[in-house]
Structure 1
Amino acid sequence: MSSSDFIKRLQGLMPERIRFAEADELEPYSRDRTVKQNLSPAFVLFPETTEEVATIVRTAFEYRQPLTVSGGRTGYVGGAIAAPDEAIVSFERMNRLLSYDPYLPALHVQAGMTTRSVQQEAASRGHFFPVDFASASASHIGGNLATHAGGIRVLKYGTIRRYAIGLTAVDGRGEILRFPDLLKNNTGYDLKELLIGSEGTLALITEATLQLVPEPPATDLVLMAFHDFPSLLEALSILRPLDLHAFEIFDDACLRLICEHRDLPCPFAEIPAFTALVEYVPGTTDEVLMTVPAQDIRLASDEAQRRRFWIYREGISEALSLSGPVHKNDISVPIARAAEAVDALRQIQSDSLPGTLFIFGHLADGNLHINVVAPTDKDETAFRTQAADFDLRSYTFLSSVGGSISAEHGIGRLKKKYLSYSRSEREIELMRSIKMAFDPENILNRGRIF
């Protein structure tokens, strides 16, 4: 059976949900934040309810039609990029708040709602949704769950998994799976937890009930300058026992770039080797700050300065994307070996991939973003070829120190050939078995993860 048979069947079932368009209208579906491919999907499907998603998947199961899920398209590993024979299921229209439970408290939302919208709905009710990152205005809750998103507040609040009380999803047969909004449900395997981080390969998450927390207390925000990475680690060790809300770091290359890109002044007398952005609840912390081995400490004195301090960190990815071809890596390492990892990765980059290295990330949970921007005179094809060698060497090192090739961005299409550097043969075998149980015809996001 062909895609045309699948389309004809869906046209009879839900004609208003199919868009046939010219290539330029479908161009956004050929890329995410990293990958652009020369393809023009024949059509995109725009369901508005869980039941419509189930209809699409049941029909796809019958016709063996592969499907690619499209959310906010803010990923970095090509997970939302469709192959030419795949139909795109876009969650753009599934963006509604379905209900509010004041007793948990929690919001029941459709998967296409943006992270920022969830934050705003929580705030309007006197609560707080703590999952946050630079792409919150564009990223979808469904994508956050499918990639097990972390972000800038993991240190204090944890990842999105902690807040997913209930889920609704559609498996590869088109069956609707409903996981109830229960804080306690000890009835066999917790299948809901399998879906979080599965990158849309097991089932399509269509709805989520998200736990809210009290609004955070007033916090102070400081920028700290450090001579070297070991001093940064010592500062984290000193501050860790306190009420920290964020401990974000970036190197000198990042600070130079963001100051130039956003026309910002350097916050220090001179650009340090590393900067930490630290958010904390004031009190005894103030005295402890004086024991940190920092060159300089700058406290945000008002809300405008707080916003500027956050721009130094959150504006890095955008600035990098405008700097030319960039090769991105999102890794995690045991924190005790983070300094060793930084030194090793710098040497690997120097030996294998010409360009400018940028290091930033969430040090308190061992998550580093390792980005390399190509030289201005470098052919992009040659740069991408050399980047593959850089990846191979980097992942070999990470495997040797118990690190991960993906901390929070997922595997997608781009990293699947390297999965064995973080997972054993037996683990991958078990993953494939789970995939077949949920999606026996391999129609959901095929070619991702493995």
Structure 2
Amino acid sequence: MSSSGFIKRLQGLMPERIRFSEADELEPYSRDRTAKQNLSPAFVLFPETTEEVATIVRTAFEFRQPLTVSGGRTGYAGGAIAAPDEAIVSFERMNRLLSYDPYLPALHVQAGMTTRAVQQEAASRGHFFPVDFASASASHIGGNLATHAGGIRVLKYGTIRRYAIGLTAVDGRGEILRFPDLLKNNTGYDLKELLIGSEGTLALITEATLQLVPEPPGTDLVLMAFHDFPSLLEALSILRPLDLHAFEIFDDACLRLICEHRDLPCPFAEIPAFTALVEYVPGTTDEVLMTVPAQDIRLASDEAQRRRFWIYREGISEALSLSGPVHKNDISVPIARAAEAVDALRQIQSDSLPGTLFIFGHLADGNLHINVVAPTDMDETAFRTQAADFDLRSYTFLSSVGGSISAEHGIGRLKKKYLSYSRSEREIKLMRSIKMAFDPENILNRGRIF
């Protein structure tokens, strides 16, 4: 491997796409939201087209130069954390809308376009792009695809995989792979689907054609208070057959935190054990709502109240990040065992990791975010060390109930040593073989997943 040869070659090919730094201004490109790193890269590459990405990867293949992909850097699995010997490829400038197909309908976009920008482009044409989450203003479509993003409306609309009609990507040899914008293409293995969720380890996604859906009908939004988790599950069972758009949940610790952080009033007379934020199409649902075992129900009466209701849920991650060192887990469990999982994880945290536990997430698809904030008087290094024991115990439990150690954040660098808790030895061997076929020199996002 020769970094000097690699950069010298690219200086001759695309000098205007290389940004050097003697200060720390490029440091954010070397990390994601998991932790601040000490690395301040000597340079970052800023391609603007698929062809330029291919040139970078071909050159990296020749010089065996490992590459780290930098998108919106909103991940929580360490996927964007660059090692000192890795060159960073930022998709920041690949943020254009390339075309609009009114017949599908679909948008053809570059991978660096933000999720929010895609939503806005869809809305301006009378359509809707349903993939959404709190980080939509910063996250890139390429990163959404690479991590197989879900978000708050999976219950109604599914994950981003459903909307990726076509993709363009660059494999580990620098060859451009183009998967056409076809709704039907039954011609052997669907390699496009392999790239979605591969965390940039097989190929770098550079463009995507995203199918749009009709604007949703008007919905109502309610907050429901519950005494315990089994009541929450019963409510989900009652409401699931109806036209639900979201069923988000958070515990009492989350509600206290967000009320304090945003200076919001508690929406109920008292803080309940669990709260559900439920979005639904009004009609017969109204009568069914009255049958759920909730201790209180509050309906958003206007747009301002709707926005506030969503802040109770979507503001949690930001509030946690400002509360001190936080250890995050993004897990998935069979919904029938969700109450058991909550009890077990609370006990595991009590036994193994000091701090305050926060539970929130997308209950309707079995996805729970398990976060622990360190005590104010605890050394962060000691907290991180004990968090490893918490993870080991938690993942052992999840494996025993058929759960997943990562529901939507991916494996990245941080969870790769625990992959066997969710995947068999045979599965991991097959994944390594696929990686070798796409990226024989192991230069794309090296050290992620495996």
TM-score normalised according to structure 1 size: 1.00
CA contact (8 A) 1:202 1:444 kept: yes
1:227-285 alpha-carbon deviations (Å, 9 max, x no partner): 00000000000000000000000000000000000000000000000000000000000
1:125-204 to 2 correspondence within 5 Å? 125-204=125-204
Q: Which residue of the partner structure matches residue 42 of structure 1?
A: 42
1:177-203 alpha-carbon deviations (Å, 9 max, x no partner): 000000000000000000000000000
CA contact (8 A) 2:396 2:421 kept: yes
Q: 2:400 aligned with 1:400, yes or no? A: yes
CA contact (8 A) 1:30 1:38 kept: no
- Displacement of 1:29 in angstroms is 1.9
Q: State the distance in 2 between where 1:283 and 1:228 align.
A: 27
Q: State the distance in 2 between where 1:183 and 1:2 align.
A: 43
Secondary structure at the counterpart of residue 266 of structure 1:
coil
- Displacement of 1:23 in angstroms is 3.5
- Displacement of 1:35 in angstroms is 2.1
Q: State the distance in 1 between where 2:30 and 2:324 align.
A: 19
CA contact (8 A) 2:405 2:421 kept: yes
Q: Which residue of the partner structure matches residue 84 of structure 1?
A: 84
Secondary structure at the counterpart of residue 24 of structure 1:
coil
Secondary structure at the counterpart of residue 25 of structure 1:
coil
- Displacement of 1:204 in angstroms is 0.1
1:75-113 alpha-carbon deviations (Å, 9 max, x no partner): 001101110000000000000000000000000000000
CA contact (8 A) 1:41 1:85 kept: no
CA contact (8 A) 2:221 2:280 kept: yes
Q: State the distance in 2 between where 1:23 and 1:68 align.
A: 20
Q: State the distance in 2 between where 1:79 and 1:341 align.
A: 27
1:366-404 alpha-carbon deviations (Å, 9 max, x no partner): 000000000000000000000000000000000000000
Structure 2 gaps, min length 5? none
1:13-45 alpha-carbon deviations (Å, 9 max, x no partner): 001001110241112123211122211222100
Instruction: Find runs of 4+ consecutive structure 1 residues off by over 3 angstroms.
Output: none
Q: State the distance in 2 between where 1:88 and 1:373 align.
A: 31
Secondary structure at the counterpart of residue 398 of structure 1:
helix
Q: State the distance in 2 between where 1:390 and 1:144 align.
A: 28
Q: Which residue of the partner structure matches residue 234 of structure 1?
A: 234
1:347-381 alpha-carbon deviations (Å, 9 max, x no partner): 00000000000000000000000000000000000
- Displacement of 1:51 in angstroms is 0.1
Q: State the distance in 1 between where 2:206 and 2:23 align.
A: 27
CA contact (8 A) 2:30 2:70 kept: no
CA contact (8 A) 1:325 1:374 kept: yes
Q: State the distance in 2 between where 1:137 and 1:29 align.
A: 17
TM-score normalised according to structure 2 size: 1.00
Q: State the distance in 2 between where 1:23 and 1:438 align.
A: 35
CA contact (8 A) 1:92 1:112 kept: yes
1:194-233 alpha-carbon deviations (Å, 9 max, x no partner): 0000000000000000000000000000000000000000
- Displacement of 1:2 in angstroms is 1.3
CA contact (8 A) 2:249 2:276 kept: yes
Q: How big is the alpha-carbon RMSD for the aligned residues of Structure 1 and Structure 2?
A: 0.5
Deviates more, 1:145-154 or 1:24-33: 24-33
Q: State the distance in 1 between where 2:449 and 2:3 align.
A: 24
Q: State the distance in 2 between where 1:121 and 1:397 align.
A: 43
Secondary structure at the counterpart of residue 184 of structure 2:
coil
Q: State the distance in 1 between where 2:351 and 2:141 align.
A: 39
1:323-349 alpha-carbon deviations (Å, 9 max, x no partner): 000000000000000000000000000
Q: State the distance in 1 between where 2:69 and 2:22 align.
A: 20
Secondary structure at the counterpart of residue 82 of structure 1:
coil
1:109-164 alpha-carbon deviations (Å, 9 max, x no partner): 00000000000000000000000000000000000000000000000000000000
1:409-434 alpha-carbon deviations (Å, 9 max, x no partner): 00000000000000000000000000
Secondary structure at the counterpart of residue 148 of structure 2:
coil
Secondary structure at the counterpart of residue 23 of structure 1:
coil
CA contact (8 A) 1:54 1:175 kept: yes
CA contact (8 A) 1:35 1:77 kept: no
Q: State the distance in 2 between where 1:164 and 1:109 align.
A: 11
CA contact (8 A) 1:46 1:92 kept: yes
CA contact (8 A) 2:21 2:41 kept: no
Secondary structure at the counterpart of residue 423 of structure 1:
coil
- Displacement of 1:321 in angstroms is 0.2
Secondary structure at the counterpart of residue 383 of structure 1:
helix
Q: State the distance in 1 between where 2:18 and 2:253 align.
A: 46
Q: State the distance in 1 between where 2:283 and 2:197 align.
A: 37
1:288-342 alpha-carbon deviations (Å, 9 max, x no partner): 0000000000000000000000000000000000000000000000000000000
Q: State the distance in 1 between where 2:2 and 2:40 align.
A: 17
CA contact (8 A) 2:353 2:390 kept: yes
CA contact (8 A) 1:248 1:362 kept: yes
Q: State the distance in 2 between where 1:29 and 1:211 align.
A: 30
Structure 1 gaps, min length 5? none
Secondary structure at the counterpart of residue 26 of structure 2:
helix
Q: State the distance in 2 between where 1:268 and 1:328 align.
A: 28
Q: State the distance in 1 between where 2:33 and 2:214 align.
A: 33
Q: Which residue of the partner structure matches residue 359 of structure 1?
A: 359
CA contact (8 A) 2:29 2:90 kept: no
Q: State the distance in 1 between where 2:435 and 2:41 align.
A: 25
Q: State the distance in 2 between where 1:395 and 1:122 align.
A: 39
Deviates more, 1:59-68 or 1:34-43: 34-43
Q: State the distance in 1 between where 2:49 and 2:76 align.
A: 27
Secondary structure at the counterpart of residue 72 of structure 2:
coil
Q: State the distance in 2 between where 1:161 and 1:125 align.
A: 22
CA contact (8 A) 2:219 2:282 kept: yes
Secondary structure at the counterpart of residue 98 of structure 1:
strand
